[in-house]
Amino acid sequence: MTIAYPPARKGDVVEDYHGTAVADPYRWLEDPDAAETVAWVEAENAVTAGYLGRGPLREQLRARLTRLWDYPRYGVPEREGDRYYFWKNDGLQNQPVLYRQARPEAAAEATPVLDPNTLSADGTAAVMNLRFTRDGRLAAYGVSRSGSDWQDLHVRDCDAATDFPDVVRWCKFAGIAWAPDASGFYYNRFPEPGTVAPEDASNFQRVYWHTLGTGQDGDRLVFERPDFKELGFSPRTTDDGAYLVLHVWRGTEPENRFYYRPLTAPAAPDGAPGAGSGADAPFVRLLDEADARYDFIDNAGSLFYFNTDLDAPRGRVIAIDVERPEREHWQEIVPQGDDPIDRVDMINDELVVTTLHDVHHRIQRYSRGGRPLGEIPLPGLGTVAGLSGRREDAACFLGFTSYLYPLTCLRFDFATGELTTLRRPELDFDASGYETRQVFYPSRDGTRVPMFLTHRKGLALDGDNPTLLYGYGGFNISLTPAFTVHRLAWLEQGGVLAIANLRGGAEYGEAWHQAGILDRKQNVFDDFIAAAEWLIAGGYTRRERLAIQGGSNGGLLVAACETQRPDLFGAVLCQVPVADMLRYHRFTVGRYWTTDYGNAEADAAHFRFLYAYSPLHNVRPGTAYPPTLITSADTDDRVVSAHAKKLAATMQAAQAAPPGATAAAPILLRVETRAGHGAGKPTTKQIDEQADLYAFLFRALDVPYRPVA
């Protein structure tokens, strides 16, 4: 099928990067509101909709996805005072609803507390942040609209299910820390728009105190670092109410700082609340060298516990007595082990340590002094997706999931050692005929890389199975086994799902992450290409039936691999990609990513390796690229849609027909409206998007759709 793409004007913009002239002909697409951009995007969306809407395939897939999605889903319960809170989606609700019950048992009566579906007519308002007072009576929550990272904070009386008039704005990546007396909360936010230069819109973060029942204009500045504008601050009050602590971060750097101050000063002379509200005690910069990652766990009096990778790339637990903070007094509680530490919680006055063993979770228990106390048994090879409990609790709640195991809520009793199921969802899919297994394959440099494969039992290795290879490979993010309902529509049609655990993530600790950043980013692409070659060599599939998929940093991954090896793949799903590696840091929070990617403008060496793989700059005219669907969203304020638009225009202009073919493969662009980077996307939009993705994939790989009874 020959496609007539909308004309895309080529401009004459050329930039000099350390002596190299680089053309940027589609720079005009960086302005999302320009009439020319809007018209071009509308025309591109029309072409894509026309292509995907041919025949009954898309509607068949949409109907099946709707059936699969329509099952009750529960979040992990959280105890707050004498109340238990959890999120629940009845099935096809656009957003989950927050419920409260007096007991955690599934049969206990639950009362709705907060329904985000009432906040917008189309379900595009989502609750993305939630913090309760210690007694569970009040909750501060953030509302994101149209998928934006920006949030407005509100306060709800959970007993009355009504809101206070308070509204706190200009929050992004915000922490909320209630005062022990519930008189108000600390929060971090960016400057009000217009008060700083546009390039500093994601700088100069500050911590404020908000008194309950008052307007934001009266909020009091608590902490700032005008001398270091790139620092961010996430506040938290310790469970004992004794301290306000700040997790101090700089973009996505794994190294952080840690500050604290006591919350025991008397009330201010003007009558403002005292403990927890605005005492002027200075912050103590306990950890201020940014020499490692320090994740605060909890405190026992003046003893502060941290999960750190200092001198331990796989992590260890240390304790620092803030009354004797010198490093010679630091205590090692849990030493580094063979498996990296993923998270640590203090529950039942114990350290509950979740580790990654070949990319699936295990949970070990230790006394606060570091004595091993045994293991919390898990149902199988999978992921702990949520863990809740406090130091004084005798039980904890956790969510367990895997590729064929929907999120199941469990309760562990520390006294009896018993793990019981609270809620396990039932859905329209029989998983007994499918299996997940883990394999390992060599990358280009010989590195052993893990990969999970999920497919029907008894799969024939005849080289003809449609296979979807997914990856990410960056920012310390590990792809542990997780259930995603729309994948079932792929599996039941005979598809193979392959998830590759590439370098750049945290699957094997900080060394694994470091091996996939900056001038070592090519390792990530090599790992992914090697996974594709292994699947073909092993008889799982062939090139014509192999698709690759990735989003965000994973969108960069598949775009880079496609430009490097266009001969290797049968289709590409490139979602919300970072594609222009020379200019990404100029947009929204792109500057946060320079520690993983580098900065082509500031550093000539960085320019050389970024230019070598930047997808936008490595599209070659006259090349036959595989069928490609690029997606983005007009309100994505994390990875701006300009990346996807410029990449699509460049590839459409360069695309050629393969030898012997009468037409070139499609290069399509899908730009969602009123949706952002992905988080909080309503169910209706998720189903529509997945129907489009699978319709494209089935057509590109020549997979016939067989209706499911």
Active site positions, annotated: 552, 636, 677
Q: What is the largest CA-CA distance in the chain?
A: 84
What lies within 8 Å, CB to CB, of 53 at 6+ separation is: none
Beta bridge partners of 520: none
What lies within 8 Å, CB to CB, of 349 at 6+ separation is: 368, 391, 392
Amino acid (one-letter) located at 499: I
Q: Decide: 644 and 576 in contact? Cβ < 8 Å.
A: yes
Two tokens, residue 707: 């209706």
Round to whole Å and give the CA distance between 228 and 441. Answer: 44
The helix or strand, by DSSP H or E, that contains position 351, with its residue range, turns out to be strand 350-357
Q: Would you say how long the chain is, in residues? A: 709
What lies within 8 Å, CB to CB, of 275 at 6+ separation is: 179, 180, 181, 241, 263, 264, 265
Neighbours of 566 (CB within 10 A): 18
Two tokens, residue 38: 């809007």
Round to whole Å and give the CA distance between 478 and 455. Answer: 21
Reduced to 3 states, what is the DSSP secondary structure of residue 285? strand
Neighbours of 605 (CB within 10 A): 12
Q: Decide: 276 and 249 in contact? Cβ < 8 Å.
A: no
Angle between helices 522-537 and 553-564 (to 10 degrees): 70
Torsion sign across C-alpha atoms 568, 571, 574, 580? positive
What are the distances in angstroms from CA 694 to CA 61, 371, 486, 634? 7, 50, 9, 22
What are the distances in angstroms from CA 63 to CA 68, 124, 496, 565? 9, 22, 21, 35
Q: Decide: 671 and 45 in contact? Cβ < 8 Å.
A: yes
Residue tagged 């009362």 (tokens): 111
Closest residue by Cα to residue 468 from 648, 679, 698, 705 = 698
Round to whole Å and give the CA distance between 214 and 219. Answer: 8
Amino acid (one-letter) located at 283: F
Round to whole Å and give the CA distance between 66 and 692. Answer: 13
Round to whole Å and give the CA distance between 564 and 575. Answer: 18
Reduced to 3 states, what is the DSSP secondary structure of residue 42? helix
Two tokens, residue 600: 């082509």
Q: What are phi and psi of 347, to 5 degrees?
A: -135, 145
Q: What are phi and psi of 213, to 5 degrees?
A: 85, 10
What lies within 8 Å, CB to CB, of 34 at 6+ separation is: 28
Residue tagged 């090879």 (tokens): 381
What lies within 8 Å, CB to CB, of 131 at 6+ separation is: 139, 140, 141, 176, 177, 178, 185
Q: Decide: 480 and 383 in contact? Cβ < 8 Å.
A: yes
